[in-house]
Amino acid sequence: MINYTIKRIFEVIPVLLIVSIIVFSVMHLLPGDPTLLMLAGAEGGSIPQERLDELRIIMGLNKPLYEQYYNFVTNAISGDLGTSIRLRTPVTEILLQKFPYTIKLSLLGLMIAIFLGVLIGLVAALFKDTWLDHISMTFSLIGVSMPIYWLGLLLILIFSINLNIFPSSGATGWKSIVLPALTLGFVSAGLISRLLRSSLLEVLNEDYIRTAKGKGLTDKIILIKHALKNAMIPVITILGLQFGNMLAGAVVTETVFSRPGLGRLVVNGILWKDYPLVQGTVLFIACIYVLVNLFVDISYYWFDPRIKLK
């Protein structure tokens, strides 16, 4: 058990390293002179060459690439992710301020996704081939086929503009998180419900279940509970992946609902050409995702004895 944990942690390190290389390259693969971009953004007009050179030295852009990369990594580990050009604040500060919003949204979205997904999938499987099944599966089909941003806008249209129940933007009060979380969760729910339905059908078909089907209602409920537990295994397996989908979906959702958060930072950062911000945020998100997956893998290993034997 400990061995597995250590092994997985060791495997994660080269991955994070490569991630950092990729993120580092973003800033350095850009066409154009980053110093020019930075100063042009901040001060406007034509800038004397000496100022550019001065800034180069301050930013360390005159050093060889590997040295810059080394500084980047060591700084990052110690918590220094540079300073945002546009916002004039250290990136780390910005991230620490904004990331709770995204995490809250993602977790709530995930809960909605699981709740909705399991419910729909369960109903569909139990009432297989009836109109309930068909409606449920249509629901999930629409869920995985529709653009998230459009769903967000639709929800705004219905619940904010016409019904005025929930706000369409901002992050104040619990009401503001409902629509964004629903948007995020709906797509994932579609996926989960399909998966649960086929998984549950498989489990329910097994012989030992069929022989038990002749029994009374309470027994049936116990049966369903048991089958559900087994059927949930593939769903739990993809939980880490679904969390990643939440993070990805947050990018668009936060924009649609004008909510502060990491996703919004990335999008704005790119539009403002604020590369330290983009770099730091992307690195942060990737690291979170990798660590969450690592955690999910290790705890899954703990719970499922079959994996232990592999």
Partner 1 sequence: MLSHRNKRLIRKFTRKRIIIYGTVLAVLVVLSFFAPYFAPYDPIQISMEGRKSPNVDHIFGTDRLGRDILSRIIYGTKYSLSIGIISVSIGLVFGTTMGVLSAYYGGLVDTIIMRFIDALLAFPGILLALVVIAVLGPGLFNVMLAVGISTVPEYARLARGKVLSVMQLEYIEAVHSIGGSNIRVILKHILPNISAPITILATLQVGNAILVGSGLSFLGMGAQPPTPEWGLMTAEGRNFMSQAWWISTFPGIAILITVISINQFGDGLREAIDPYLKE
Tokens for 180, please give them.
């964004």
CB of 243 to partner 1, least distance (A): 8
The binding track of 164-203 with respect to partner 1, each residue x by CB under 8 A or -, is ----x-----------------------------x-----
The Cα 78–Cα 75 span in angstroms is: 5
* Residues 74-93 interacting with partner 1 (rule: CB under 8 A): none
Q: Which stretch binds partner 1 (CB under 8 A): 45-53, 74-82, 120-128, 239-247?
A: 239-247
Cβ proximity to partner 1: between 40 and 248 the closer is 248
Tokens for 168, please give them.
């369409």
The answer to whether residues 162 and 251 touch, using CB atoms and an 8 Å cutoff, is no
CB of 285 to partner 1, least distance (A): 6
The Cα 269–Cα 18 span in angstroms is: 22
Phi-psi region of 170 (alpha: psi -120 to 50; beta: other; left: phi over 0): left
Instruction: Tell me: does residue 107 bind partner 1 (CB under 8 A).
Output: no
Adjacent-strand bridge partners of 90: 83
Instruction: Tell me: does residue 30 bind partner 1 (CB under 8 A).
Output: yes
Instruction: Tell me: does residue 105 bind partner 1 (CB under 8 A).
Output: no
Instruction: Tell me: does residue 296 bind partner 1 (CB under 8 A).
Output: no
DSSP state of 170: -
Q: Which stretch binds partner 1 (CB under 8 A): 89-97, 174-182, 208-216, 269-277?
A: 269-277
Instruction: Tell me: does residue 144 bind partner 1 (CB under 8 A).
Output: yes
The answer to whether residues 102 and 264 touch, using CB atoms and an 8 Å cutoff, is no
The CB-side HSE value for 299 (13 A sphere, CA atoms) comes to: 11
Instruction: Tell me: does residue 110 bind partner 1 (CB under 8 A).
Output: no
The Cα 12–Cα 295 span in angstroms is: 11
The Cα 6–Cα 229 span in angstroms is: 29
The answer to whether residues 136 and 207 touch, using CB atoms and an 8 Å cutoff, is no
CB of 123 to partner 1, least distance (A): 20
Tokens for 33, please give them.
């002179």
Identified binder of partner 1 from the candidate list 2, 29, 217, 309, rule CB under 8 A = 29
CB of 195 to partner 1, least distance (A): 9
The Cα 95–Cα 281 span in angstroms is: 7
CB of 218 to partner 1, least distance (A): 33
Q: Which stretch binds partner 1 (CB under 8 A): 33-41, 58-66, 69-77, 142-150?
A: 142-150
Question: What does the radius of gyration of the chain's CA atoms come to, in whole angstroms?
Answer: 24
Cβ proximity to partner 1: between 177 and 266 the closer is 266
Instruction: Tell me: does residue 147 bind partner 1 (CB under 8 A).
Output: yes
Identify the three-state secondary structure at position 13: helix
Identified binder of partner 1 from the candidate list 34, 121, 244, 261, rule CB under 8 A = 244
Name the residue with tokens 């729909």. Answer: 120
Instruction: Tell me: does residue 232 bind partner 1 (CB under 8 A).
Output: no
Q: Which stretch binds partner 1 (CB under 8 A): 48-56, 83-91, 117-125, 262-270?
A: 262-270
Phi-psi region of 173 (alpha: psi -120 to 50; beta: other; left: phi over 0): left
Task: Provide the binding-site residues for partner 1, judged by CB under 8 A.
Answer: 14-16, 18-19, 21-23, 25-26, 29-31, 141-142, 144-150, 153-154, 156-157, 161, 168, 198, 244-245, 247-249, 251-252, 255-256, 266-267, 269-271, 275, 278, 282, 285-287, 289-290
